[in-house]
Structure 1
Amino acid sequence: MHGQNVVACVWDFDKTLIPGYMQTPLFQYFGVDEGLFWKEVDKLPEVYAKRGCRVSPDTIYLNHFLSYVKNGPMRGLTNEKLGELGSELEFYPGLPDFFQDLQAEVRAKEFSQYDFKLEHYVISTGLTHMIRGSKIAPYVEDIFACEFIETPLPPNYDRQSEFSLPLDLEVSQIGMVVDNTIKTRFIFEINKGCNKNPAIEVNSWMRHEDRRVPIDQMIHVADGPSDVPVFSVVKMHGGKTYAVHKAGNQGEFEQTCTLVESGRVHNNGTADYRKGSETSNWLKMRVRDICRDMVRKRAVALRSRTKQPPRHHPKPEGNSPGDEAIQQETLFDDPI
Structure 2
Amino acid sequence: MTKKTLHRQNVVACIWDFDKTLIPGYMQAPIFEAYGIDEEAFWKEVNALPEIYAQRGTRVSHDTIYLNHLISFVKNGELKGLTNARLRELGKELVFYPGLPDLFEKLKTVASSRPEYRKHNITLEHYIISTGLAEMIRGSQIAPHVDGIFGSEFIEAPLPPHYSRQNELPLNMEFEISQVGTIVDNTIKTRYIFEINKGSNKNPSIDVNASMERADRRVPIDRMLYVADGPSDVPVFSVVKSNGGKAFAVFNPDSEAEFAQNDTLLHAGRIHAYGPADYTERSTTAKWLRMHIRQICDTIVAESEAALSAQVGKAPRHLHEDDEPENDEAASTSAQKELFETS
TM-score higher than 0.5? yes
**Which residue in the other structure is 1:297 paired with?**
303
Letter in 2 for 1:5: N
TM-score normalised according to structure 2 size: 0.92
CA distance in structure 1 between the aligned counterparts of 2:104 and 2:334, rounded to whole angstroms: 58
Pairing partner for 2:72 from 67, 90, 107? 67
**Which residue in the other structure is 1:81 paired with?**
86
Say if 1:310 and 1:246 are closer, same or farther in 2 by CA, change over 3 A. same
- Does the aligned pair in 1 maintain the 2:15–2:126 contact within 8 Å? yes
Alignment of 1:270-281 (within 5 A): 270-281=276-287
**Which residue in the other structure is 2:135 paired with?**
129
- Find out whether 1:46 has 2:57 as its counterpart: no
Alignment of 1:105-124 (within 5 A): 105-110=110-115, 111-124=117-130
- Find out whether 1:58 has 2:69 as its counterpart: no
Q: CA deviation digits over 1:64-85, x for unaligned, max 9? A: 1111111111111110110111
- Does the aligned pair in 2 maintain the 1:9–1:120 contact within 8 Å? yes
**Which residue in the other structure is 1:328 paired with?**
332
Displacement after TM superposition at 1:310 (Å): 5.4
- Does the aligned pair in 1 maintain the 2:126–2:146 contact within 8 Å? yes
Displacement after TM superposition at 1:304 (Å): 3.0
**Which residue in the other structure is 1:101 paired with?**
106
Letter in 2 for 1:305: Q
Query: Superposition RMSD on alpha carbons, in Å?
Result: 1.8
**Which residue in the other structure is 2:237 paired with?**
231
Q: CA deviation digits over 1:101-145, x for unaligned, max 9? A: 111101103423221111110000000000000000000111110
CA distance in structure 2 between the aligned counterparts of 1:192 and 1:155, rounded to whole angstroms: 36
Q: Which runs of 5+ in 2 are unaligned?
A: none
CA distance in structure 2 between the aligned counterparts of 1:230 and 1:162, rounded to whole angstroms: 45
Letter in 1 for 2:200: C
Deviates more, 1:117-126 or 1:103-112: 103-112
Displacement after TM superposition at 1:209 (Å): 1.1
Letter in 2 for 1:332: Q
**Which residue in the other structure is 1:155 paired with?**
161
Displacement after TM superposition at 1:155 (Å): 2.7
Q: Which runs of 5+ in 1 are unaligned?
A: none
- Does the aligned pair in 2 maintain the 1:103–1:119 contact within 8 Å? yes
Alignment of 1:3-42 (within 5 A): 3-42=8-47
Q: How many residue pairs are counted as aligned between the two chains?
A: 332
CA distance in structure 1 between the aligned counterparts of 2:123 and 2:199, rounded to whole angstroms: 15
**Which residue in the other structure is 2:213 paired with?**
207
Q: CA deviation digits over 1:22-68, x for unaligned, max 9? A: 00010111111111111111111111111111111110000111111
- Does the aligned pair in 1 maintain the 2:11–2:125 contact within 8 Å? yes
CA distance in structure 1 between the aligned counterparts of 2:166 and 2:196, rounded to whole angstroms: 36
- Does the aligned pair in 1 maintain the 2:250–2:276 contact within 8 Å? yes
Say if 1:210 and 1:277 are closer, same or farther in 2 by CA, change over 3 A. same
**Which residue in the other structure is 1:138 paired with?**
144
Displacement after TM superposition at 1:213 (Å): 0.6
CA distance in structure 1 between the aligned counterparts of 2:249 and 2:311, rounded to whole angstroms: 39
